[in-house]
Amino acid sequence: GHPIPGEPRMAEEFGIAKGTARRVINELLKAGDVYTVLGKGTFVADPETGGPPRRDTEDE
């Protein structure tokens, strides 16, 4: 559920082209390692679901 940097920031931080950063993010999306929320960003995916982390709502 942690956010990952956007393309411009990733490119700057890692010293790569924005196009390369875009390809990296697209590969992570295909692999199910990250997911996107429109208007919010790209986040690390839950390894079991490939999407947002599950939130247990049951009281203990």
53 in any annotated domain? no
Would you state the pLDDT for residue 10?
92
**pLDDT tens digits, 5-55:** 999 999 999 999 999 999 999 999 999 899 999 999 999 998 777 677 776
Domain count, the chain: 1
Would you state the pLDDT for residue 46?
85
51 in any annotated domain? no
d(CA 35, CA 58): 25
Q: In 3-state terms, what secondary structure has residue 44?
A: strand
Residue 28, Cβ density class (10 Å: 0-12 exposed, 13-18 middle, ≥19 buried): middle
Would you state the pLDDT for residue 51?
73
49 in any annotated domain? no
13 in any annotated domain? yes
Would you state the pLDDT for residue 27?
95
Q: pTM for the complete prediction?
A: 0.73
